[in-house]
Amino acid sequence: MELKDNPLLKSEDYLSGYRESIENLKNRPELVSFDKLCYELFEANELGRKFMHHIEDHFLIPSLVNRESGNYQLLVIWADGFKDAFRLLKQNVMSHDQRIKAGKSE
């Protein structure tokens, strides 16, 4: 009698997505380079950290749109697009920080 793999008993590889993501990044060094640049500017540099905290406090956290405005829906779309650029910079900083931490743990 031949034994066959039971798909119900097979363990799932939870790290496969991470490995795939790492392989994709290896083929796109410009993304890693941009992450590192953002990290150096906005996290490793004291003035950059202060700048990013100022951006968070004055532009990302508070609403930029008055609810009583007649074109509220359009202004909300504009404000979200405005905030997206800063969110992208913050995400790049966090991405490089995670890469640093992952390298130290190996």
Kindly state the helix (H) or strand (E) to which residue 93 belongs, with its residue range: helix 72-105
Cβ distance 83 to 60 under 8 Å? Answer: yes
pLDDT tens profile 50-60: 999 999 999 99
pLDDT tens profile 57-106: 999 999 999 999 999 999 999 999 999 999 999 999 998 998 888 876 44
Please tell me the number of Cα atoms within 13 Å of 30 on its side-chain side.
0
CA angle 14, 19, 24 (to 5 degrees): 140
